[in-house]
């Protein structure tokens, strides 16, 4: 993980937009250059939420595993075709996929084929509790939990070069720390190869099993890399001594194991890719771009290198022939946002995911010799006319101090003739990023007549380390003002009904909803809080034990509850809930280990006591983000129903107002298939 962006993962994946980003290239450089869309005369069909979520979400096997079958005839994917994620074998010839798992309760995600046969590894948790286990699915469909235990969290860490073993991390020995185990491919007997007593993050294992890359976060701006020699068992060696704040992370080892490819922001605002020679310690620049390098990966032989950059909320991908350092020109990659690149075993093909603002990610395959590209899936519901959906535009507006805030704008068809109500969408994090790309929830909102501005307030990742740290220990202050100024910018646009602007957000974004309504009570007309932190004192004292390795970094970002409790109380919406005077929808997963249900229970009770309409939805079978299609549909319908009732016709308290009835309304979509 790139440590510069560590904190964005802490509060979950509620970013609002797909993590595989979109194909349009239109940009609006500043608020001053923004113009209304051209007039439209065609009729746009309005769709129910089910139409958007009855698309099929796809994901690829882990980059640490084998995505292609041993004969290269199929690709291991996961899909929510049935309404819940399961693993499938997708033939490269375009024929029907074969079902490999049949869970009806817990979303199951593909990890890897075995090196020489059709057995697979998958992972799932229980009801969203985030205690993921690793499962073997044998060729006869039998499932075996390879990481049993009631409180165990496990992750897949890759295969050995000789294909005789694979690696798994678990926190079974100590709930705070993850140890590394090597599993035999046939017997599944395992050996502890690294006992993690010092709270490192296990980042990458070399294919020959001799080297282990470790990350030690110190603060949200500073971290270090270590190398452990697994053969000698010697103490890990610190390979990034430095002064000041520099963030380091590990992308992985080169295929020959001689070099660790790592990230660093030492040389500018953005993360670059460098190499560290395992034997000599020599370091060299590998990739420097004008944006963050998101990931670096190699083909099995090392003949090709792939890297992606986070270019203004969209992903740009490059494939390099390592022998020449030149881009691969055998194929003309299609327009769109490309991610999850996986090489076939013989390196003649790549599989990848392709998405756009108006279409979910599809699985594609490209022949590296002929350049032929084939689409293997159709993710968008055929009942939707893609022309009825809208492309995102990247805009910037000025905040209270003149700082430009990059944002993603969605404008409904026809809004230039009939100004529409609008929403400020706030991502999770706090250091997340709203990105362009397909979001069923956002497209549903826009299709029902709502402008959506997904604001990347200061503190968001993707815009340089200075911007990323501008909100450190100033949460609910300067970042909140960025969101307030998003409302001001929207109110000035000709396609927005200025008197009808609300706010919506999930996780940290849900906190911002509560903060906006409590601390700036006259700005927004409604709020939609999706599992947002309402009491920072409690939340920071109850973080999951497996966050131990980056506890210090989290506390550096947010403040240590032992010393900053007073400030945490001051910025917590719960303790200022008497200021909330507009309708509120709250959505929560009962099994959420990050933002406990009590956070939502308490804010609902407190705001209802103000005589304000409050609707509350709790999903008993979800955690921090919702993976079941039926729940995502119900949630999205709840948003639109709530907004239609309280924003399109703004609510005002009557002389006898006593609040809204205590109805249970649905929960929100966090695009788990596309994340994290």
Average pLDDT over residues 252-266: 97
Rounded (10°) angle between helices 440-447 and 629-646: 30
Per the structure block, which two tokens stand in for 8? 């964005």
Of 510, 523, 665, nearest in space to 573 by CA = 510
Average pLDDT over residues 563-583: 92
pLDDT of 16 above 50: no
Average pLDDT over residues 316-334: 87
Query: What CATH fold (topology level) applies to the domain 9-33+47-51+383-651+664-674?
Result: Rossmann fold (3.40.50)
pLDDT of 181 above 80: yes
CA 357 to mean position of chain CA atoms? 16
Q: Could you tell me the pLDDT band of residue 242, with boundaries at 50, 70 and 90?
A: very high
Average pLDDT over residues 17-38: 33
Q: Are 513 and 528 in contact (CB under 8 A)?
A: yes
Q: How many residues does the chain have?
A: 676
Of 594, 404, 599, nearest in space to 513 by CA = 599
**Mean pLDDT taken over the chain:** 88
Q: Hey, which bits of 185-313 come out as E strands?
A: 190-194, 201-205, 211-217, 223-229, 237-238, 248-253, 259-264, 272-277, 283-287, 292-298, 304-311
Task: Give the pLDDT of residue 234.
Answer: 94
Task: Give the pLDDT of residue 219.
Answer: 80
Task: Give the pLDDT of residue 538.
Answer: 86
Task: Give the pLDDT of residue 673.
Answer: 30
Omega prior to 123 cis, within 30 of 0: no
Task: Give the pLDDT of residue 563.
Answer: 82
If one compares 670 and 558, the residue with the highest pLDDT of the two is 558
Task: Give the pLDDT of residue 41.
Answer: 58
Q: Cα(503)–Cα(425) distance, rounded to whole angstroms?
A: 6
List phi, psi (to 5°) of 487.
Answer: -60, -40
Average pLDDT over residues 188-202: 95
Point out the least confidently predicted range of 275-284, 368-377, 443-452.
Answer: 368-377
Per the structure block, which two tokens stand in for 143? 């499932």
Average pLDDT over residues 320-337: 85
In angstroms, what CA-CA distances link 381 with 46, 49, 76, 89, 299?
A: 14, 11, 22, 21, 33
Average pLDDT over residues 648-663: 63
Q: Are 576 and 625 in contact (CB under 8 A)?
A: no
Q: Are 20 and 437 in contact (CB under 8 A)?
A: yes
Considering the four listed CATH numbers 3.40.50.880, 2.40.33.10, 3.30.590.20, 2.120.10.30, the one that applies to the domain covering 58-197 is 2.120.10.30
pLDDT of 288 above 80: yes
pLDDT of 19 above 80: no
Please state the domain extents for the chain. 9-33+47-51+383-651+664-674, 58-197, 302-378
Task: Give the pLDDT of residue 333.
Answer: 81
Give the other-Cβ count within 10 Å of 656's Cβ: 6
pLDDT of 28 above 90: no
Of 377, 452, 412, nearest in space to 78 by CA = 377
pLDDT above 90 covers a percentage of the chain that reads: 74
pLDDT in tens, 489-519: 999 999 999 999 999 999 999 999 999 999 9
pLDDT in tens, 350-397: 999 999 999 999 999 999 988 899 999 999 999 999 999 999 999 999
In angstroms, what CA-CA distances link 166 with 61, 139, 192, 437, 506?
A: 15, 18, 12, 34, 36
Average pLDDT over residues 58-70: 95
DSSP type of residue 441: H
pLDDT of 551 above 90: no
* Predicted TM-score (pTM) of this structure: 0.84
Per the structure block, which two tokens stand in for 571? 């910025």
pLDDT in tens, 603-628: 999 999 999 999 999 999 998 888 78
């Amino acid at each position: 993980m790139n440590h510069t962006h560590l904190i964005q993962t802490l509060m979950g994946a509620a970013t609002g937009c797909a993590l595989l980003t979109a194909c349009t290239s239109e940009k609006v450089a500043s608020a001053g250059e923004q113009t209304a869309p051209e007039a439209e005369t065609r009729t746009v069909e309005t769709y129910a939420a089910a139409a958007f979520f009855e698309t099929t979400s796809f994901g690829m096997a882990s980059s640490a595993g084998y995505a292609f079958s041993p004969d290269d005839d199929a690709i291991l994917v996961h899909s929510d075709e049935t309404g819940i994620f399961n693993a499938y074998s997708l033939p490269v010839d375009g024929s029907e996929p074969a079902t490999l798992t049949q869970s009806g309760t817990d979303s199951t995600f593909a990890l890897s084929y075995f090196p020489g046969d059709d057995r697979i590894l998958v992972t799932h948790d229980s009801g969203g509790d985030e205690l993921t286990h690793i499962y073997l699915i044998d060729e006869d469909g039998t499932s075996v939990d390879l990481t049993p235990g009631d409180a165990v969290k496990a992750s897949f860490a890759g295969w050995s070069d000789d294909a005789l073993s694979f690696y798994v991390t678990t926190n079974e020995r100590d709930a705070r720390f993850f140890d590394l185990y090597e599993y035999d491919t046939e017997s599944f007997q395992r050996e502890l190869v690294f006992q993690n007593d010092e709270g490192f993050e296990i980042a990458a294992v070399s294919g020959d099993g001799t080297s282990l890359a470790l990350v030690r976060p110190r603060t949200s701006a500073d971290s270090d890399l270590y190398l452990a020699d697994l053969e000698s068992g010697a103490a890990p060696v610190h390979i990034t001594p430095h002064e000041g704040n520099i963030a380091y992370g590990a992308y992985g080892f080169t295929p020959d194991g001689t070099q660790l490819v790592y990230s660093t922001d030492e040389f500018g605002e953005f993360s670059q890719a460098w190499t560290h020679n395992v034997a000599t310690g020599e370091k060299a620049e590998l990739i420097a771009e004008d944006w963050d390098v998101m990931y670096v990966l190699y083909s099995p032989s090392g003949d090709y290198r792939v890297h992606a950059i986070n270019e203004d909320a969209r992903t740009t991908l490059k494939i390099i022939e390592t022998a020449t350092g030149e881009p691969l020109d055998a194929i003309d990659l299609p327009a769109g946002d490309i991610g999850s690149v996986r090489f076939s075993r013989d390196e003649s093909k790549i599989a990848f995911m392709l998405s756009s603002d108006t279409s979910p990610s599809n699985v594609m395959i490209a022949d590296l010799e002929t350049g032929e590209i084939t689409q293997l899936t159709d993710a968008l519901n055929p009942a939707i006319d893609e022309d009825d959906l809208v492309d995102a535009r990247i805009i910037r507006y000025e905040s209270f101090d003149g700082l430009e805030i990059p944002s993603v704008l969605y404008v409904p068809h026809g809004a230039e003739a009939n100004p529409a109500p609008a929403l400020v969408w706030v991502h999770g994090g706090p250091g997340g990023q709203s990105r362009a790309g397909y979001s069923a929830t956002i497209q549903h909102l826009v299709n029902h007549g709502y402008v959506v501005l997904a604001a990347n307030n200061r503190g968001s990742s993707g815009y340089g380390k200075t911007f990323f740290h501008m909100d450190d220990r100033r949460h609910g202050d300067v970042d909140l003002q960025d969101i307030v100024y998003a409302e001001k910018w929207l109110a000035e646009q000709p396609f927005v009904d200025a008197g009808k602007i609300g706010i919506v957000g999930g996780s940290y974004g849900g906190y911002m909803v509560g903060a906006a309504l409590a601390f700036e009570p006259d700005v927004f007309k409604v709020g939609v809080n999706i599992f947002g932190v309402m009491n920072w004192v409690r939340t920071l004292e109850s973080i999951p034990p497996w966050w131990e390795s980056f506890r210090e970094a989290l506390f550096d970002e947010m403040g240590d509850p032992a010393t900053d409790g007073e400030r945490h109380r001051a910025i917590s919406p719960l303790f200022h809930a008497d200021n909330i005077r507009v309708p509120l929808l709250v959505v929560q997963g009962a099994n959420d280990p990050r933002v406990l249900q009590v956070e939502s229970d308490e804010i609902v009770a407190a705001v209802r006591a103000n005589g304000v309409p409050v609707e509350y939805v709790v999903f008993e079978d979800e955690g921090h983000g919702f993976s079941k299609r039926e729940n995502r549909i119900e949630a999205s319908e709840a948003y639109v129903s709530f907004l239609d009732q309280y924003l399109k016709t703004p609510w005002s308290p009557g002389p006898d107002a006593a609040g809204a009835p205590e109805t249970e309304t649905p929960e929100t979509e966090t695009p788990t298939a596309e994340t994290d």
